[in-house]
Amino acid sequence: MRILVGMTLIAMTTAAAASGPAAATERREHGAHRHGHATLQAALDGGQLEIAVEAPGMDIVGFEHAPGDDAQKAKIAAALRRLGDAGAMFDLPEAAGCALTEAEAEQEALADAHGQKADAADHTAFHAHYGWTCAKPEALQTIRVRYFEHFPGIAEIDAAVIGPSGQTAQELTPQSPQLQF
């Protein structure tokens, strides 16, 4: 998990350090916070599988402002519970014999989204981290990502995958939700 968290922090630090119109454009291209676009990082190292996902609050609960009433608070709590349910979010091949070791989800306000610090408080993101130990990692060739089924606001997931065959960038969509190792 430490590797994945580190990658996320580096990406966010780079975005925050940049300034000016060019930097704003770059942020959008990198998908740091684009509504409809989530990012995913997956790493398979020996039998250890780790996945981290970040998605805009808009795609998860339909709003990004602070919850204004109990219904909105409940919606956020329900989303966090669902995100933390690794079995609902991913289909792993049974043959790989993976056992869940970690699953957590959190919501955070973004300090600098869309290149406009003035409305920073209006943007939030959901983060989720998952870890598994797999008895037969060689059987782990694809993982079906089910975020699209639970959160229709997500149109695309930009995935960075590190596995036995190296590092690849993959684009997942509702029509093509399979992560490849």
Size of the site for Zn ion (CB under 5 A): 3
> What is the Cα 59 distance to its own chain's centre?
11
In whole angstroms, the minimum distance from the beta carbon of 168 to Zn ion comes to: 27
Closer to Zn ion by Cβ: residue 29 or 94: 29
Q: Least CB distance from residue 123 to Zn ion, whole Å?
A: 4
Task: Tell me whether residue 57 or residue 177 sits nearer to Zn ion (CB atom).
Answer: 57
Cα 140–chain centre separation: 20
Tokens of 45: 């190292």
The C-alpha atoms of residue 156 and residue 128 are separated, in whole angstroms, by 17
Residue 81 to residue 75: CA distance in whole angstroms: 10
Spell out, one character per residue from 43 to 72, where the chain touches Zn ion: x when CB under 5 A holds, - when not: -------------x-------x--------
Measured from the CB of residue 61, what is the shortest distance to Zn ion in angstroms?
Answer: 12
Between residues 54 and 64, which has the closer beta carbon with respect to Zn ion?
64
Query: Which CB sits closer to Zn ion, 50 or 54?
Result: 54
User: With respect to Zn ion, which residue has the nearer C-beta, 27 or 123?
Assistant: 123
Q: What are phi and psi of 8, to 5 degrees?
A: -65, -45
Residue pair 156/125 in contact (Cβ under 8 Å)? The answer is no
Site for Zn ion in 111-150 (CB under 5 A): 123
Binding of residue 34 to Zn ion (CB under 5 A): no
**In angstroms, what CA-CA distances link 95 with 51, 99, 100, 143, 179?**
19, 12, 15, 12, 16
- The site for Zn ion (CB under 5 A) is made up of 56, 64, 123
